């Protein structure tokens, strides 16, 4: 698997205020969660959460295998964490608030992190495939607020997610989210299409009017359509400062584009970029 190459960012004159994460008491209404600085703790499952038939995942194995020390499906096992740690992608750059697998889908890792876009709260939800073959993920649910109310709708459907790849979805919340997500359905239907391995490069700069943007390029092993290319701006601790994306319909072995952030300053100092894409082989 190829590593995304990086360029040194010439970021100057940014706001230095550090965004506080104290408003995001992250919970999950699924299998469980992982704390990077402590042992996993059990979370009660939401009885209203349902998971459809997962026959599409039967017979799959993880990309790599190591001895599992935690057998409960309510936690990320050491095997899952080991696979995540070895991914040659930008996944590990991000300080995820929560990571877990839906019941019966040990090779699908759901990761959630919160951020602010100006005064508006968002959740970034990521799905990572650590099975050894392409998987389609279809999920629908909503983010909860402090009183348990619905504050943001979530829907994701990806044609094919290659082994080791991550797809992301930014969710606008109309009030402060707790980080808890209720999933109405999570399933792995039949895979249509085939994904391809890729590598990318980017330059974080400003346009003629002083607004920040990210110019990127993608190269794939196969003739592909890039689809969504998402850029996460990160602070020194890996927290998300801002998220933006480009929908690229170029076809070929390479693709180019720009992602605009429509701002001249951020709530935190940007020190790195995490870029995610899921290009599909062109039929």
pLDDT confidence bin for 61, thresholds 50/70/90: low
Does residue 63 belong to any structural domain of this protein? yes
pLDDT in tens, 243-252: 999 999 999 9
Q: How far apart are CA 111 and CA 35, in angstroms?
A: 12
Mean pLDDT of 110-131: 93
How is residue 147 annotated by DSSP? Answer: T
pLDDT value of position 263: 93
pLDDT at 41 over 60: no
Domain that holds residue 116: 55-187
Please tell me the distance from the alpha carbon of residue 260 to that of residue 265, in angstroms, as a whole number: 13
In a domain, 44, yes or no: no
Over residues 204-239, the pLDDT tens digits come to: 999 999 999 999 999 999 999 999 999 999 999 999
User: Helix or strand or coil: residue 86?
Assistant: helix
User: Are 160 and 226 found together in one domain?
Assistant: no
pTM: 0.76
What is the pLDDT of the chain when averaged over all its residues?
77
Total domains in the chain come to 2
Domain limit, last residue, from 130, 162, 187: 187
Q: Report the DSSP beta bridge partners of residue 157.
A: 138
Q: Is residue 5 part of a domain?
A: no
Q: Does the residue 48 lie in any domain?
A: no
pLDDT for the residue 152: 94
- The domain that holds 100 is classified in CATH as 2.60.40
Q: Which of 187, 217, 233 is the last residue of a domain?
A: 187
My answer on whether 209 and 180 are in the same domain is: no
Q: What is the pairing mode between strands 120-129 and 166-172? A: antiparallel
Q: What pLDDT, on a 0 to 100 scale, did the predictor assign at position 210?
A: 94
pLDDT of residue 267: 85
- Shared domain for 89 and 162, answered yes or no, is yes
Domain boundary, last residue among 187, 220, 245: 187
267 and 236 housed in the same domain: yes
106 with 133, same domain: the answer is: yes
Task: Round to whole Å and give the CA distance between 54 and 104.
Answer: 7
Give the residue, 59 or 231, on which the prediction is more confident.
231
In a domain, 16, yes or no: no
Which 3 state secondary structure label does DSSP give 181?
A: strand
Read off the pLDDT band of 27 (50, 70, 90). very low
What band does 256 get if pLDDT is binned at 50, 70 and 90?
very high
Dihedral sign for Cα atoms in the order 156, 159, 160, 166: negative
């Amino acid at each position: 698997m190829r590593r995304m190459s990086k360029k040194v960012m010439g970021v100057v004159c940014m706001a230095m205020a550090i965004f506080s994460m104290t408003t995001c008491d992250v919970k999950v209404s699924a299998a469980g969660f992982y704390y990077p600085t402590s042992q996993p703790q059990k979370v009660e499952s939401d009885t209203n959460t349902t998971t459809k038939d997962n026959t599409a995942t039967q017979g799959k194995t993880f990309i790599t295998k190591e001895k599992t020390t935690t057998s409960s499906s309510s936690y990320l096992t050491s095997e899952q964490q080991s696979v995540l740690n070895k991914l040659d992608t930008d996944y590990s750059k991000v300080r995820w608030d929560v990571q877990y697998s839906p019941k019966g889908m040990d090779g699908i890792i759901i990761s959630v992190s919160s951020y602010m876009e100006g005064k508006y709260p968002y959740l970034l939800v990521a799905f990572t495939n650590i099975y050894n073959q392409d998987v389609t993920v279809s999920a629908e649910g909503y983010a909860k607020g402090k009183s348990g109310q619905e504050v943001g709708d979530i829907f994701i459907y990806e044609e094919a997610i290659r082994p080791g790849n991550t797809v992301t979805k930014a969710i606008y919340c109309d009030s402060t989210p707790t980080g808890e997500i209720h999933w109405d359905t999570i399933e792995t239907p039949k895979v249509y299409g085939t994904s391809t391995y890729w590598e990318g490069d980017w330059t974080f700069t400003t346009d003629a009017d002083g607004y920040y943007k990210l110019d990127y390029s993608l190269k794939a092993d196969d003739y592909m359509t890039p689809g969504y290319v998402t850029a996460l701006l990160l602070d020194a601790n890996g927290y998300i400062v801002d998220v933006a994306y480009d929908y690229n319909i170029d076809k070929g072995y390479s693709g180019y584009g720009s992602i605009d952030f429509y701002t001249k300053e951020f709530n935190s100092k940007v020190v790195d970029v995490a870029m995610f894409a899921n290009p599909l082989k062109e039929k």
